[in-house]
Structure 1
Amino acid sequence: MTKVDRRIAKSQEAIKKALIKLMNEKHFDKITLQDISDRANVNRRTIYLHYMDKFDLLDKIIEEHINKLQEMFEELSDVDFITGGQAIFEYFQENYLFFSTMLVGGGADNFRNQYLEFSVELLKGEVNTEEGKNKGLNEEIILRFVAAAYVEVVEWWFKNEMPYPPRVMAEQVGLLIKRIL
């Protein structure tokens, strides 16, 4: 693994934060690279050193968070929904600005769909339609139902400024998912 120069990492982090903060203030289409560079306190050329344009920047930020969530789910695959859920809700809380912007603030129109599809993929293998309470039901319908409910609850949590701590959210959501799956 190559070591990243601290100045480069600091500039990239400032650029990412600047874009997300700007997306809280105005629509993505109205944001210019000059707006981003001004907010990040970097030269426009610095942005072009790391990103092709603002679309590439946003894609990289989204990819970074989706990859981190994927990594967390893989690490937590052996734990129950509640324990794993708490780690996920804590990650959401730590990255409140990003997730609230993307899911509630209308930051990126396609992020919700990406997150929904990501949630469906994670739940695959958890559904048993051969026996038990879901016998005879369509797996895809169950997956979509649970994933959509989960994403909606996460959106609600952000929209209401996280009224419950991550542990409570994980317990409530984990118990509901266990009842369905």
Structure 2
Amino acid sequence: MKIERAGDRNTIDRRIARTRGLLQDALIALIPERGYAAITVDDICQRANVGRSTFYTHYADKDALRSATIEAHLRSIGRRREAASQETGSRLFEFSLPMFEHAHAFRPLHHALLASSGDTIHDELRERIRRAVREELVEKGIGDRGMPAEFVIQFIAGAFLAVLTWWVVTDMDLSPAQADELFQRMAGKGISAWDMPWSDGRGA
């Protein structure tokens, strides 16, 4: 399964986009097999069938490729999120279904990232998910009965990450839509109790 890159080729040369796509897809394929820390630039080049000089023309090192790959995934998720928002309009959270769908489409990759710890890419992906939760909660102005905003953000993000990890790792027989429906219900019950404006975390 390849990353959806429909919008990327509008801003950069097609040949550049193709080469970067090959390198990113190679990294995605290698992570479930070896883990990010064990992968070398030579491994990536061999899998992508490109030379080392070509690799370094596009990326300074393996970590730069990692960041670009995560960004490509996030853009793909963002497009799914925009489409879901237009279709549903009034969902409590828009980020969750696109992420469930993306994890389903790239299950081996997400299994490798979420089931283990210690790899930098694992921690970076988790932080990006927290950021998405933070942006949506702030955007919607969901209250917290005087609790610090960051507490609420960590609570929702942590709950979602726990459910997503459980769903991916255990390979439960739930579709992305079914998993999201359960998450929305549980999160909604908690959110419904919070009706005061955001706290800035400094107290009264």
TM-score by length of 2: 0.72
2:62 aligns with 54
Measure how far apart 1:113 and its partner are.
2.6
Shift of 1:116: 2.2
The alignment status of 1:4 with 2:13, answered yes or no, reads yes
Partner of 2:197: none
1:94 aligned onto 2:105: yes
Structure 2 residues not aligned, in runs of 5+: 1-9, 192-204
Q: Distance in 1 between matches of 2:90 and 2:98?
A: 11
Q: Shift in Å at residue 70 of structure 1?
A: 4.1
Q: Percent of aligned pairs with the same residue?
A: 26
Structure 2 counterpart of 1:120, from 122, 134, 141: 134
* Structure 1 residues not aligned, in runs of 5+: 130-134
Cα distance in 2 for partners of 1:80, 1:162 equals 24
Q: Which residue is 1:171 aligned to?
A: 181
Give distance in 2, aligned partners of 1:116 and 1:100: 18
Superposition deviation, residue 22 in structure 1: 2.0
| Structure 2 partner of 1:139 | 149
2:167 maps to which of 157, 172, 177: 157
TM-superposed deviation, 1:140? 2.7
Give the aligned residue type for 2:25: K
Cα pair 2:32 2:109 within 8 Å, conserved: no
Equivalence for 1:24: 32
- Is the CA contact 2:26–2:44 (under 8 Å) kept in the aligned structure 1? yes
Count of paired positions: 175
Change (3 A) 1:173 1:41: same
Give the drift of 1:47: 1.3
Q: CA deviation at 1:12?
A: 2.2
Normalised by the size of structure 1, how large is the TM-score? 0.80
Q: 1:100 touches 1:158 (CA, 8 Å); kept in 2?
A: yes
Check conservation: 2:104, 2:176, Cα contact below 8 A: yes
Return 79-88 or 42-51, whichever deviates more: 79-88
**Structure 1 residues 121-151: Cα deviation after superposition (integer angstroms, max 9, x where no partner):** 322234224xxxxx34443322221111011
Distance between the aligned counterparts of 2:45 and 2:159, measured in 1?
38
Please, which of 119, 143, 158 is the counterpart of residue 148 of structure 1?
Answer: 158
User: Does the CA contact (< 8 Å) of 1:69 and 1:88 recur in 2?
Assistant: yes
Q: CA RMSD in A?
A: 2.6
